[in-house]
Amino acid sequence: MTERKTPMLDELEKGPWPSFVTDLKRAAEKNDSVKDLIAQLEQSYEEKKGHWKHGGIVGVRGYGAGVIGRYSDEPEKYPNIAEFHTLRINSPAGWFYDTKTLRNVCDMWEEHGSGLLNLHGTTGDIILLGTKTNELQPTFDAFSDAGFDLGGSGSGLRSPSACCGPARCEWACYDTLDVCDNLTHEYQDEMHRPMWPYKFKFKFSGCPNDCVASIARSDLSVIGTWRDTLRINQEEIKNYANSGMDIQGRVCEKCPTKALTFNSETKELFVKAEDCTRCMHCINVLPKAVRPGKEKGATLMIGGKSTILRSAFLSWVIVPFMPLEAPYTELKDLIARIWEWWDEHGKTRERIGELIYRLGMGNFLRAVDLPPVPQMVKEPRANPYIFWQADEVIKADEATK
Amino acid sequence: MAEDLRERILSYLNGVSKAKTRDIADALGEKKKDVDKIVRDLGNEDIIEFLYLGTSYVRIKGKED
Ligand code: HEM
Ligand code: HEM
Ligand code: SF4
Ligand code: SF4
Protein backbone atom coordinates (compact mmCIF):
# COMPACT_ATOMS: atom_id res chain seq x y z
CA MET A 1 0.00 0.00 0.00
CA THR A 2 1.33 3.41 -0.91
CA GLU A 3 1.10 6.09 1.76
CA ARG A 4 -1.45 8.70 0.82
CA LYS A 5 -1.17 12.33 1.83
CA THR A 6 -3.78 13.57 4.30
CA PRO A 7 -3.20 17.31 4.78
CA MET A 8 -6.73 18.05 6.03
CA LEU A 9 -6.71 15.30 8.61
CA ASP A 10 -3.19 16.26 9.69
CA GLU A 11 -4.52 19.70 10.46
CA LEU A 12 -6.81 18.15 13.10
CA GLU A 13 -3.81 16.88 15.04
CA LYS A 14 -2.42 20.36 15.66
CA GLY A 15 -4.57 21.54 18.57
CA PRO A 16 -3.74 20.94 22.23
CA TRP A 17 -6.37 18.20 22.59
CA PRO A 18 -5.99 14.52 21.78
CA SER A 19 -7.01 13.86 18.19
CA PHE A 20 -8.86 10.89 16.75
CA VAL A 21 -6.57 11.30 13.71
CA THR A 22 -3.55 10.44 15.84
CA ASP A 23 -5.42 7.40 17.13
CA LEU A 24 -6.37 6.33 13.63
CA LYS A 25 -2.80 6.69 12.40
CA ARG A 26 -1.56 4.56 15.25
CA ALA A 27 -4.20 1.92 14.50
CA ALA A 28 -3.26 2.05 10.80
CA GLU A 29 0.22 0.77 11.62
CA LYS A 30 -1.36 -2.56 12.48
CA ASN A 31 -4.34 -2.68 10.17
CA ASP A 32 -4.75 -1.96 6.47
CA SER A 33 -8.45 -1.22 6.68
CA VAL A 34 -7.66 1.76 8.90
CA LYS A 35 -5.22 3.02 6.25
CA ASP A 36 -8.00 2.99 3.70
CA LEU A 37 -10.40 4.51 6.23
CA ILE A 38 -8.06 7.47 6.72
CA ALA A 39 -7.63 7.92 2.97
CA GLN A 40 -11.34 7.77 2.28
CA LEU A 41 -12.04 10.21 5.13
CA GLU A 42 -9.55 12.68 3.65
CA GLN A 43 -11.36 12.36 0.32
CA SER A 44 -14.67 13.01 2.11
CA TYR A 45 -13.25 16.14 3.66
CA GLU A 46 -12.00 17.37 0.28
CA GLU A 47 -15.28 16.69 -1.47
CA LYS A 48 -17.53 17.48 1.51
CA LYS A 49 -19.30 14.23 0.78
CA GLY A 50 -19.63 10.92 2.65
CA HIS A 51 -18.47 7.75 0.98
CA TRP A 52 -20.24 5.10 3.02
CA LYS A 53 -23.09 3.02 1.66
CA HIS A 54 -25.60 1.73 4.19
CA GLY A 55 -27.84 -1.22 4.55
CA GLY A 56 -28.19 -4.57 2.90
CA ILE A 57 -28.21 -7.71 4.93
CA VAL A 58 -25.48 -8.42 7.37
CA GLY A 59 -25.87 -10.24 10.61
CA VAL A 60 -25.13 -13.35 12.54
CA ARG A 61 -27.21 -16.48 12.66
CA GLY A 62 -30.57 -16.06 14.39
CA TYR A 63 -30.06 -12.35 15.07
CA GLY A 64 -31.78 -9.49 13.31
CA ALA A 65 -29.94 -6.77 15.17
CA GLY A 66 -26.55 -5.78 16.50
CA VAL A 67 -24.70 -5.55 13.20
CA ILE A 68 -24.79 -2.42 11.04
CA GLY A 69 -23.74 -3.02 7.47
CA ARG A 70 -21.45 -0.51 5.77
CA TYR A 71 -19.64 -0.52 2.45
CA SER A 72 -17.33 1.96 0.77
CA ASP A 73 -18.83 3.43 -2.40
CA GLU A 74 -15.38 3.31 -4.00
CA PRO A 75 -14.30 -0.26 -3.29
CA GLU A 76 -11.72 -0.35 -6.11
CA LYS A 77 -9.90 2.60 -4.64
CA TYR A 78 -10.28 1.42 -1.02
CA PRO A 79 -10.39 -2.40 -1.18
CA ASN A 80 -9.68 -2.86 2.53
CA ILE A 81 -12.87 -1.07 3.50
CA ALA A 82 -15.04 -2.41 0.69
CA GLU A 83 -16.89 -4.00 3.63
CA PHE A 84 -16.58 -2.19 6.96
CA HIS A 85 -19.41 -3.31 9.22
CA THR A 86 -20.04 -2.16 12.77
CA LEU A 87 -20.97 -4.53 15.61
CA ARG A 88 -22.72 -3.50 18.79
CA ILE A 89 -21.80 -5.43 21.90
CA ASN A 90 -24.15 -5.18 24.87
CA SER A 91 -22.19 -3.71 27.76
CA PRO A 92 -22.54 -4.68 31.43
CA ALA A 93 -24.97 -2.60 33.52
CA GLY A 94 -23.18 0.49 34.79
CA TRP A 95 -20.22 -0.24 32.48
CA PHE A 96 -17.99 -2.06 34.94
CA TYR A 97 -15.14 -4.20 33.65
CA ASP A 98 -11.94 -5.63 34.99
CA THR A 99 -8.74 -4.95 33.05
CA LYS A 100 -8.47 -8.57 31.91
CA THR A 101 -11.86 -8.35 30.21
CA LEU A 102 -10.96 -5.10 28.50
CA ARG A 103 -7.69 -6.57 27.21
CA ASN A 104 -9.60 -9.56 25.93
CA VAL A 105 -12.09 -7.27 24.13
CA CYS A 106 -9.18 -5.51 22.43
CA ASP A 107 -7.41 -8.74 21.50
CA MET A 108 -10.54 -10.28 20.01
CA TRP A 109 -11.28 -7.15 18.03
CA GLU A 110 -7.72 -6.78 16.71
CA GLU A 111 -7.91 -10.38 15.56
CA HIS A 112 -11.27 -10.06 13.81
CA GLY A 113 -11.67 -6.40 12.89
CA SER A 114 -10.10 -2.99 12.48
CA GLY A 115 -9.10 -2.60 16.12
CA LEU A 116 -11.10 0.65 16.31
CA LEU A 117 -13.75 0.77 18.96
CA ASN A 118 -15.89 3.23 20.84
CA LEU A 119 -17.13 2.69 24.37
CA HIS A 120 -20.52 3.63 25.71
CA GLY A 121 -21.59 6.60 23.68
CA THR A 122 -25.16 7.35 22.74
CA THR A 123 -26.14 3.72 22.37
CA GLY A 124 -24.45 2.62 25.59
CA ASP A 125 -22.97 -0.35 23.75
CA ILE A 126 -19.38 -1.19 22.97
CA ILE A 127 -19.16 -0.21 19.31
CA LEU A 128 -16.74 -2.27 17.24
CA LEU A 129 -15.98 -0.21 14.15
CA GLY A 130 -15.26 -2.04 10.95
CA THR A 131 -14.98 -5.64 9.86
CA LYS A 132 -15.65 -7.77 6.79
CA THR A 133 -18.77 -9.81 6.18
CA ASN A 134 -17.04 -13.16 6.59
CA GLU A 135 -15.61 -12.05 9.95
CA LEU A 136 -19.01 -11.26 11.47
CA GLN A 137 -19.87 -14.76 12.64
CA PRO A 138 -16.34 -15.52 13.95
CA THR A 139 -16.32 -12.18 15.82
CA PHE A 140 -19.70 -12.92 17.32
CA ASP A 141 -18.60 -16.42 18.32
CA ALA A 142 -15.45 -15.10 20.00
CA PHE A 143 -17.33 -12.44 21.98
CA SER A 144 -20.08 -14.89 22.77
CA ASP A 145 -17.60 -17.40 24.18
CA ALA A 146 -16.17 -14.60 26.32
CA GLY A 147 -19.63 -13.96 27.80
CA PHE A 148 -20.73 -11.02 25.65
CA ASP A 149 -23.83 -10.72 23.51
CA LEU A 150 -24.79 -8.37 20.68
CA GLY A 151 -26.70 -5.21 21.50
CA GLY A 152 -29.80 -3.85 19.81
CA SER A 153 -30.15 -2.04 16.49
CA GLY A 154 -32.84 -1.54 13.88
CA SER A 155 -36.53 -1.44 14.78
CA GLY A 156 -36.29 -3.17 18.10
CA LEU A 157 -35.30 -2.62 21.70
CA ARG A 158 -31.88 -1.04 22.10
CA SER A 159 -29.54 -2.27 24.81
CA PRO A 160 -30.86 -0.80 28.05
CA SER A 161 -28.32 1.24 29.99
CA ALA A 162 -27.99 2.49 33.52
CA CYS A 163 -25.95 4.92 35.59
CA CYS A 164 -23.49 3.35 38.03
CA GLY A 165 -26.23 3.68 40.65
CA PRO A 166 -25.80 2.12 44.09
CA ALA A 167 -22.47 0.58 43.09
CA ARG A 168 -20.71 3.91 43.38
CA CYS A 169 -23.24 6.60 44.11
CA GLU A 170 -24.99 7.41 47.37
CA TRP A 171 -27.85 9.21 45.62
CA ALA A 172 -29.25 6.14 43.90
CA CYS A 173 -32.91 5.78 44.82
CA TYR A 174 -33.21 2.28 43.36
CA ASP A 175 -30.89 -0.41 42.05
CA THR A 176 -30.33 0.82 38.49
CA LEU A 177 -27.88 -1.99 37.75
CA ASP A 178 -30.27 -4.74 38.75
CA VAL A 179 -33.23 -3.31 36.81
CA CYS A 180 -31.06 -2.83 33.73
CA ASP A 181 -29.70 -6.37 33.91
CA ASN A 182 -33.12 -7.87 34.68
CA LEU A 183 -34.88 -6.14 31.78
CA THR A 184 -32.04 -6.87 29.36
CA HIS A 185 -32.48 -10.58 30.03
CA GLU A 186 -36.26 -10.40 30.03
CA TYR A 187 -36.45 -8.73 26.62
CA GLN A 188 -33.90 -10.69 24.59
CA ASP A 189 -36.33 -11.26 21.74
CA GLU A 190 -37.39 -7.64 21.58
CA MET A 191 -33.72 -6.68 21.34
CA HIS A 192 -32.35 -9.26 18.93
CA ARG A 193 -35.28 -9.70 16.53
CA PRO A 194 -36.52 -6.22 15.58
CA MET A 195 -40.24 -6.34 14.76
CA TRP A 196 -41.54 -2.92 15.78
CA PRO A 197 -42.41 0.31 13.97
CA TYR A 198 -39.05 1.68 15.06
CA LYS A 199 -36.54 1.69 17.91
CA PHE A 200 -37.29 1.79 21.63
CA LYS A 201 -34.87 2.69 24.41
CA PHE A 202 -34.83 2.43 28.20
CA LYS A 203 -32.32 4.24 30.29
CA PHE A 204 -32.10 4.03 34.06
CA SER A 205 -30.85 6.86 36.25
CA GLY A 206 -30.76 6.42 39.98
CA CYS A 207 -31.74 10.00 40.77
CA PRO A 208 -32.82 13.26 39.09
CA ASN A 209 -29.21 14.15 38.29
CA ASP A 210 -29.92 11.74 35.42
CA CYS A 211 -26.33 10.79 34.65
CA VAL A 212 -27.34 8.66 31.63
CA ALA A 213 -29.47 11.55 30.31
CA SER A 214 -32.45 9.24 30.12
CA ILE A 215 -34.91 12.12 29.84
CA ALA A 216 -33.48 13.08 26.46
CA ARG A 217 -32.17 9.80 25.15
CA SER A 218 -34.77 7.17 25.95
CA ASP A 219 -38.36 6.41 25.06
CA LEU A 220 -39.00 5.21 28.59
CA SER A 221 -36.96 7.14 31.16
CA VAL A 222 -36.73 5.63 34.61
CA ILE A 223 -35.42 8.23 37.04
CA GLY A 224 -34.99 7.57 40.75
CA THR A 225 -36.79 9.82 43.22
CA TRP A 226 -38.28 9.83 46.70
CA ARG A 227 -41.86 10.29 47.81
CA ASP A 228 -41.39 11.74 51.31
CA THR A 229 -39.27 14.77 52.14
CA LEU A 230 -35.55 15.31 51.79
CA ARG A 231 -33.49 14.85 54.93
CA ILE A 232 -31.49 17.74 56.38
CA ASN A 233 -28.67 17.39 58.90
CA GLN A 234 -28.61 20.74 60.72
CA GLU A 235 -25.14 20.15 62.23
CA GLU A 236 -23.67 19.84 58.74
CA ILE A 237 -25.62 22.90 57.58
CA LYS A 238 -23.89 24.87 60.35
CA ASN A 239 -20.52 23.53 59.24
CA TYR A 240 -21.17 24.63 55.66
CA ALA A 241 -22.32 28.09 56.84
CA ASN A 242 -19.31 28.48 59.15
CA SER A 243 -16.93 27.53 56.37
CA GLY A 244 -18.26 30.46 54.30
CA MET A 245 -20.80 28.77 52.02
CA ASP A 246 -23.43 31.26 50.84
CA ILE A 247 -26.43 29.03 51.58
CA GLN A 248 -29.02 31.74 50.93
CA GLY A 249 -27.53 32.71 47.56
CA ARG A 250 -26.23 29.42 46.24
CA VAL A 251 -28.90 27.08 47.54
CA CYS A 252 -32.17 28.78 48.57
CA GLU A 253 -32.27 31.29 45.73
CA LYS A 254 -31.39 28.64 43.16
CA CYS A 255 -34.10 26.25 44.32
CA PRO A 256 -36.47 26.23 41.33
CA THR A 257 -39.59 26.17 43.49
CA LYS A 258 -38.32 28.31 46.37
CA ALA A 259 -39.01 25.45 48.74
CA LEU A 260 -36.05 26.27 50.99
CA THR A 261 -35.56 28.86 53.72
CA PHE A 262 -32.34 29.55 55.55
CA ASN A 263 -32.26 31.12 58.98
CA SER A 264 -28.98 33.01 59.03
CA GLU A 265 -29.23 33.56 62.81
CA THR A 266 -29.54 29.92 63.82
CA LYS A 267 -27.86 28.65 60.62
CA GLU A 268 -30.66 26.19 59.98
CA LEU A 269 -32.16 25.16 56.66
CA PHE A 270 -35.83 24.26 56.25
CA VAL A 271 -37.71 22.70 53.36
CA LYS A 272 -41.39 23.00 52.57
CA ALA A 273 -41.85 19.42 51.46
CA GLU A 274 -44.93 19.96 49.29
CA ASP A 275 -43.10 22.60 47.22
CA CYS A 276 -39.96 20.57 46.55
CA THR A 277 -39.81 19.14 43.02
CA ARG A 278 -36.87 16.88 43.93
CA CYS A 279 -34.45 18.45 41.47
CA MET A 280 -31.30 17.51 43.47
CA HIS A 281 -29.88 21.04 43.39
CA CYS A 282 -29.63 21.53 47.17
CA ILE A 283 -28.28 18.00 47.59
CA ASN A 284 -25.59 18.57 44.97
CA VAL A 285 -24.43 21.78 46.62
CA LEU A 286 -24.65 20.53 50.21
CA PRO A 287 -24.00 16.79 49.86
CA LYS A 288 -22.95 16.34 53.47
CA ALA A 289 -26.05 18.00 54.87
CA VAL A 290 -28.94 17.19 52.57
CA ARG A 291 -29.99 13.84 51.12
CA PRO A 292 -32.99 12.18 49.51
CA GLY A 293 -35.93 11.01 51.60
CA LYS A 294 -36.39 7.47 52.83
CA GLU A 295 -39.29 6.31 50.69
CA LYS A 296 -37.53 5.67 47.41
CA GLY A 297 -38.57 4.61 43.94
CA ALA A 298 -38.66 6.07 40.46
CA THR A 299 -40.52 8.44 38.20
CA LEU A 300 -41.41 6.96 34.80
CA MET A 301 -41.40 9.26 31.81
CA ILE A 302 -42.21 8.58 28.20
CA GLY A 303 -41.32 9.78 24.73
CA GLY A 304 -37.74 11.12 24.76
CA LYS A 305 -36.07 10.98 21.35
CA SER A 306 -34.03 12.83 18.78
CA THR A 307 -35.47 14.22 15.57
CA ILE A 308 -36.89 11.93 12.91
CA LEU A 309 -40.55 12.43 12.10
CA ARG A 310 -40.81 15.32 14.52
CA SER A 311 -38.42 17.51 16.49
CA ALA A 312 -36.41 16.26 19.46
CA PHE A 313 -38.57 15.53 22.52
CA LEU A 314 -37.75 15.28 26.19
CA SER A 315 -39.76 12.54 27.86
CA TRP A 316 -42.73 13.50 30.01
CA VAL A 317 -44.13 12.08 33.23
CA ILE A 318 -46.54 9.17 33.13
CA VAL A 319 -46.01 7.70 36.60
CA PRO A 320 -44.82 10.20 39.22
CA PHE A 321 -43.76 7.48 41.64
CA MET A 322 -43.34 3.73 41.40
CA PRO A 323 -41.45 1.66 43.96
CA LEU A 324 -38.92 -0.48 42.08
CA GLU A 325 -38.27 -3.83 43.70
CA ALA A 326 -37.29 -7.08 41.94
CA PRO A 327 -38.89 -8.78 40.03
CA TYR A 328 -40.28 -5.43 38.79
CA THR A 329 -43.69 -6.85 37.89
CA GLU A 330 -45.53 -3.53 37.97
CA LEU A 331 -42.98 -1.96 35.64
CA LYS A 332 -43.02 -4.90 33.24
CA ASP A 333 -46.83 -4.98 33.12
CA LEU A 334 -46.87 -1.32 32.17
CA ILE A 335 -44.15 -1.82 29.54
CA ALA A 336 -46.21 -4.62 27.98
CA ARG A 337 -49.25 -2.35 27.66
CA ILE A 338 -47.18 0.51 26.25
CA TRP A 339 -45.54 -1.69 23.61
CA GLU A 340 -48.83 -3.25 22.60
CA TRP A 341 -50.45 0.13 21.98
CA TRP A 342 -47.45 1.48 20.09
CA ASP A 343 -47.03 -1.66 18.00
CA GLU A 344 -50.74 -1.58 17.16
CA HIS A 345 -51.00 2.10 16.21
CA GLY A 346 -47.49 3.27 15.33
CA LYS A 347 -46.62 4.05 11.72
CA THR A 348 -43.34 2.88 10.28
CA ARG A 349 -40.49 4.85 11.88
CA GLU A 350 -42.77 6.49 14.42
CA ARG A 351 -41.39 6.56 17.97
CA ILE A 352 -43.75 6.24 20.92
CA GLY A 353 -43.39 9.94 21.75
CA GLU A 354 -44.45 10.88 18.22
CA LEU A 355 -47.40 8.52 18.35
CA ILE A 356 -48.56 10.08 21.64
CA TYR A 357 -48.12 13.49 20.08
CA ARG A 358 -50.24 12.45 17.08
CA LEU A 359 -53.02 10.63 18.94
CA GLY A 360 -52.93 12.55 22.20
CA MET A 361 -51.80 11.87 25.74
CA GLY A 362 -55.39 11.22 26.80
CA ASN A 363 -55.74 8.36 24.31
CA PHE A 364 -52.42 6.93 25.37
CA LEU A 365 -53.29 7.03 29.07
CA ARG A 366 -56.66 5.36 28.52
CA ALA A 367 -55.05 2.67 26.35
CA VAL A 368 -52.39 1.79 28.89
CA ASP A 369 -54.73 2.25 31.82
CA LEU A 370 -52.91 5.01 33.69
CA PRO A 371 -54.74 7.75 35.59
CA PRO A 372 -54.12 11.37 34.58
CA VAL A 373 -52.26 13.18 37.35
CA PRO A 374 -51.17 16.79 37.92
CA GLN A 375 -47.53 15.92 37.21
CA MET A 376 -48.48 15.43 33.54
CA VAL A 377 -49.43 19.04 33.00
CA LYS A 378 -47.19 20.32 30.25
CA GLU A 379 -46.13 23.45 32.10
CA PRO A 380 -47.70 25.56 34.85
CA ARG A 381 -50.88 27.36 33.77
CA ALA A 382 -50.61 25.88 30.27
CA ASN A 383 -52.84 23.50 28.45
CA PRO A 384 -52.84 20.08 30.12
CA TYR A 385 -52.86 16.98 27.96
CA ILE A 386 -56.08 15.80 29.56
CA PHE A 387 -59.41 16.79 28.07
CA TRP A 388 -63.01 15.89 28.75
CA GLN A 389 -64.21 12.92 26.77
CA ALA A 390 -67.23 13.23 24.49
CA ASP A 391 -69.42 11.04 26.67
CA GLU A 392 -68.56 13.08 29.73
CA VAL A 393 -69.53 16.28 27.94
CA ILE A 394 -72.87 14.85 26.81
CA LYS A 395 -73.67 13.89 30.38
CA ALA A 396 -73.01 17.47 31.45
CA ASP A 397 -75.24 18.76 28.65
CA GLU A 398 -78.07 16.58 29.73
CA ALA A 399 -77.67 17.67 33.32
CA THR A 400 -78.46 21.26 32.36
CA LYS A 401 -81.63 20.41 30.41
CA MET B 1 -53.05 -24.01 13.75
CA ALA B 2 -49.51 -22.71 14.27
CA GLU B 3 -48.33 -25.11 11.57
CA ASP B 4 -50.90 -23.64 9.22
CA LEU B 5 -49.95 -20.05 10.06
CA ARG B 6 -46.30 -20.86 9.52
CA GLU B 7 -47.07 -22.13 6.03
CA ARG B 8 -49.17 -19.07 5.26
CA ILE B 9 -46.41 -16.74 6.48
CA LEU B 10 -43.86 -18.54 4.33
CA SER B 11 -46.07 -18.40 1.28
CA TYR B 12 -46.75 -14.70 1.87
CA LEU B 13 -43.01 -13.99 2.19
CA ASN B 14 -42.33 -16.03 -0.95
CA GLY B 15 -44.65 -13.71 -2.82
CA VAL B 16 -43.03 -10.43 -1.74
CA SER B 17 -39.47 -9.09 -1.74
CA LYS B 18 -39.63 -8.08 1.91
CA ALA B 19 -42.19 -7.22 4.60
CA LYS B 20 -42.59 -5.89 8.10
CA THR B 21 -44.26 -8.40 10.43
CA ARG B 22 -47.06 -5.84 10.80
CA ASP B 23 -47.75 -6.16 7.03
CA ILE B 24 -47.75 -9.94 7.25
CA ALA B 25 -50.18 -9.90 10.18
CA ASP B 26 -52.50 -7.45 8.42
CA ALA B 27 -52.38 -9.36 5.12
CA LEU B 28 -53.18 -12.67 6.79
CA GLY B 29 -55.70 -11.21 9.22
CA GLU B 30 -53.76 -12.59 12.18
CA LYS B 31 -52.56 -11.14 15.48
CA LYS B 32 -49.13 -9.51 15.13
CA LYS B 33 -47.98 -11.23 18.30
CA ASP B 34 -48.58 -14.68 16.78
CA VAL B 35 -46.84 -13.72 13.56
CA ASP B 36 -43.86 -12.28 15.47
CA LYS B 37 -43.43 -15.55 17.33
CA ILE B 38 -43.31 -17.65 14.18
CA VAL B 39 -41.08 -15.15 12.37
CA ARG B 40 -38.69 -15.33 15.32
CA ASP B 41 -38.53 -19.10 15.00
CA LEU B 42 -37.98 -18.82 11.26
CA GLY B 43 -35.08 -16.49 12.01
CA ASN B 44 -33.53 -18.94 14.42
CA GLU B 45 -33.92 -21.71 11.84
CA ASP B 46 -32.08 -19.52 9.32
CA ILE B 47 -35.07 -19.58 6.93
CA ILE B 48 -35.69 -15.85 6.99
CA GLU B 49 -33.31 -12.95 7.48
CA PHE B 50 -33.69 -9.39 8.71
CA LEU B 51 -32.76 -6.36 6.68
CA TYR B 52 -32.62 -2.76 7.70
CA LEU B 53 -33.66 -0.06 5.25
CA GLY B 54 -34.65 2.81 7.51
CA THR B 55 -36.70 0.31 9.48
CA SER B 56 -36.40 -3.46 9.90
CA TYR B 57 -37.93 -5.91 7.44
CA VAL B 58 -37.82 -9.68 7.10
CA ARG B 59 -37.51 -11.71 3.94
CA ILE B 60 -36.87 -15.27 2.87
CA LYS B 61 -33.15 -15.82 3.22
CA GLY B 62 -31.25 -14.89 0.06
CA LYS B 63 -34.39 -13.87 -1.82
CA GLU B 64 -33.69 -11.06 -4.28
CA ASP B 65 -36.25 -8.53 -5.49
C1 HEM C 1 -18.12 2.40 8.08
C2 HEM C 1 -17.93 3.25 9.01
C3 HEM C 1 -18.92 3.60 10.06
C4 HEM C 1 -20.20 3.26 10.21
C5 HEM C 1 -21.01 2.40 9.34
C6 HEM C 1 -20.69 3.85 11.41
C7 HEM C 1 -21.97 3.69 11.87
C8 HEM C 1 -22.40 4.16 13.07
C9 HEM C 1 -23.69 3.95 13.61
C10 HEM C 1 -24.80 3.20 12.94
C11 HEM C 1 -23.71 4.54 14.80
C12 HEM C 1 -24.86 4.54 15.77
C13 HEM C 1 -25.71 5.74 15.72
C14 HEM C 1 -26.89 5.58 16.64
O15 HEM C 1 -26.75 5.09 17.76
O16 HEM C 1 -28.00 5.94 16.25
C17 HEM C 1 -22.44 5.13 15.02
C18 HEM C 1 -22.06 5.78 16.12
C19 HEM C 1 -20.82 6.31 16.31
N20 HEM C 1 -19.80 6.36 15.40
FE21 HEM C 1 -19.80 5.54 13.65
N22 HEM C 1 -19.70 4.55 11.95
C23 HEM C 1 -18.59 4.42 11.17
C24 HEM C 1 -17.37 4.93 11.31
C25 HEM C 1 -17.03 5.68 12.38
C26 HEM C 1 -15.73 6.25 12.57
C27 HEM C 1 -14.56 6.08 11.62
C28 HEM C 1 -15.76 6.90 13.73
C29 HEM C 1 -14.68 7.69 14.45
C30 HEM C 1 -13.43 7.69 14.09
C31 HEM C 1 -17.11 6.75 14.29
C32 HEM C 1 -17.54 7.25 15.46
C33 HEM C 1 -18.76 6.99 16.00
C34 HEM C 1 -19.11 7.37 17.33
C35 HEM C 1 -18.23 8.08 18.31
C36 HEM C 1 -20.42 6.94 17.51
C37 HEM C 1 -21.23 7.10 18.72
C38 HEM C 1 -21.25 5.77 19.34
C39 HEM C 1 -22.25 5.73 20.40
O40 HEM C 1 -22.67 6.80 20.79
O41 HEM C 1 -22.59 4.66 20.83
N42 HEM C 1 -17.83 6.01 13.42
N43 HEM C 1 -21.66 4.89 13.94
C1 HEM D 1 -15.39 22.95 21.48
C2 HEM D 1 -15.83 21.88 20.87
C3 HEM D 1 -16.54 20.74 21.52
C4 HEM D 1 -17.09 20.63 22.73
C5 HEM D 1 -17.18 21.66 23.84
C6 HEM D 1 -17.64 19.30 22.83
C7 HEM D 1 -18.28 18.82 23.93
C8 HEM D 1 -18.81 17.57 24.01
C9 HEM D 1 -19.45 17.03 25.17
C10 HEM D 1 -19.66 17.77 26.47
C11 HEM D 1 -19.82 15.76 24.88
C12 HEM D 1 -20.54 14.80 25.78
C13 HEM D 1 -19.54 13.98 26.47
C14 HEM D 1 -20.23 13.07 27.41
O15 HEM D 1 -21.44 13.22 27.68
O16 HEM D 1 -19.57 12.17 27.92
C17 HEM D 1 -19.41 15.49 23.54
C18 HEM D 1 -19.63 14.30 22.91
C19 HEM D 1 -19.19 14.05 21.64
N20 HEM D 1 -18.50 14.88 20.83
FE21 HEM D 1 -17.95 16.76 21.24
N22 HEM D 1 -17.40 18.65 21.69
C23 HEM D 1 -16.73 19.49 20.85
C24 HEM D 1 -16.28 19.21 19.60
C25 HEM D 1 -16.47 18.03 18.96
C26 HEM D 1 -15.98 17.73 17.65
C27 HEM D 1 -15.19 18.71 16.77
C28 HEM D 1 -16.34 16.46 17.38
C29 HEM D 1 -16.08 15.61 16.16
C30 HEM D 1 -15.15 15.83 15.28
C31 HEM D 1 -17.05 15.96 18.50
C32 HEM D 1 -17.57 14.71 18.58
C33 HEM D 1 -18.24 14.25 19.66
C34 HEM D 1 -18.80 12.91 19.72
C35 HEM D 1 -18.76 11.85 18.63
C36 HEM D 1 -19.40 12.80 20.96
C37 HEM D 1 -20.13 11.62 21.48
C38 HEM D 1 -19.15 10.76 22.13
C39 HEM D 1 -19.85 9.54 22.60
O40 HEM D 1 -21.08 9.58 22.69
O41 HEM D 1 -19.15 8.59 22.84
N42 HEM D 1 -17.10 16.93 19.45
N43 HEM D 1 -18.80 16.58 23.05
S1 SF4 E 1 -28.03 9.57 38.19
FE2 SF4 E 1 -27.98 9.98 40.36
S3 SF4 E 1 -27.70 7.91 41.23
FE4 SF4 E 1 -27.08 7.76 39.09
S5 SF4 E 1 -24.88 8.14 39.15
FE6 SF4 E 1 -25.92 10.10 38.71
S7 SF4 E 1 -26.06 11.08 40.72
FE8 SF4 E 1 -25.69 8.91 41.08
S1 SF4 F 1 -34.35 19.26 45.67
FE2 SF4 F 1 -34.51 21.02 44.32
S3 SF4 F 1 -36.65 21.62 44.49
FE4 SF4 F 1 -36.22 20.34 46.24
S5 SF4 F 1 -35.63 21.76 47.85
FE6 SF4 F 1 -33.75 21.07 46.87
S7 SF4 F 1 -33.32 22.63 45.35
FE8 SF4 F 1 -35.47 22.88 45.93
B40/A343 Cβ within 8 A: no
Residues of B in contact with A156 (CB under 8 A): 56
Identify residue A183 by its one-letter amino acid code: L
User: Which residues is A262 bridged to in the sheet?
Assistant: A269
Task: Give CA separation, A204 vs A126, A268, A375, B6, in Å.
Answer: 18, 34, 20, 38
List the single residue in A with minimal CA-CA distance to B25: A344
Identify residue B34 by its one-letter amino acid code: D
pLDDT of residue A376: 79
B56/A156 Cβ within 8 A: yes
The model's pLDDT over A66-105, given as tens digits with 9 standing for 90+, comes to 999 999 999 999 999 999 999 999 999 999 999 999 999 9
Q: Is residue A38 classed as helix, strand or coil in its secondary structure?
A: helix
- Count Cβ atoms below 10 Å from residue A129 Cβ, excluding itself: 21
pLDDT of residue A40: 97
- Which residues have C-beta within 8 Å of that of residue A379, sequence separation ≥ 6? none
- The complex scores an ipTM of 0.86
Per the CB < 8 A criterion, the answer to whether A106 and A14 are in contact is: no
Whole-angstrom distance, CA of residue A75 vs CA of residue A152: 28
Which helix (H) or strand (E) is A279 found in, with range?
none
A62/B52 Cβ within 8 A: no
pLDDT of residue B64: 75
Distance from CA of A196 to the nearest CA of B (A): 8
Distance from CA of A235 to the nearest CA of B (A): 58
B36/A57 Cβ within 8 A: no
List the single residue in A with minimal CA-CA distance to B19: A195
Substitution site in A282, A283, A291 for ligand 4 pocket (most atoms within 8 Å of beta carbon): A282
User: Which residues is B8 bridged to in the sheet?
Assistant: none
A343/B22 Cβ within 8 A: yes
User: Which residues is A302 bridged to in the sheet?
Assistant: A220, A316
User: Which one-letter DSSP state was computed for residue A250?
Assistant: I
pLDDT of residue A123: 86
pLDDT of residue A399: 65
Indicate whether residue A20 lines ligand 1 (CB < 6 A).
yes
Q: How far is CA A229 from the centre of its chain?
A: 28
Whole-angstrom distance, CA of residue B56 vs CA of residue B52: 4
Whole-angstrom distance, CA of residue A69 vs CA of residue A85: 5
Whole-angstrom distance, CA of residue A164 vs CA of residue A146: 23
Place B55 in a pLDDT band, splitting at 50, 70 and 90. confident
Per the CB < 8 A criterion, the answer to whether A83 and A132 are in contact is: yes
Selected residues 359-388 of chain A with any CB under 8 Å from a CB in chain B: none
Question: A269 alpha carbon to ligand 4 midpoint, in Å?
Answer: 12
pLDDT of residue A41: 97
The shortest CB-CB distance from A64 to any of B32, B43, B53 is to B43
Q: Is residue A170 classed as helix, strand or coil in its secondary structure?
A: coil
What long-range pairs does A5-10 form, CB within 8 A, spacing at least 24? A5/A42, A6/A38, A6/A39, A6/A41, A6/A42, A7/A42, A8/A42, A8/A45, A8/A46, A9/A38, A9/A41, A9/A42, A9/A45
- Give the residues of chain A that fall short of pLDDT 70: 1-3, 55-56, 378-388, 394-397, 399-401
The ligand 2 site (C-beta within 6 Å) comprises A 118, 121-122
List the single residue in B with minimal CA-CA distance to A199: B55
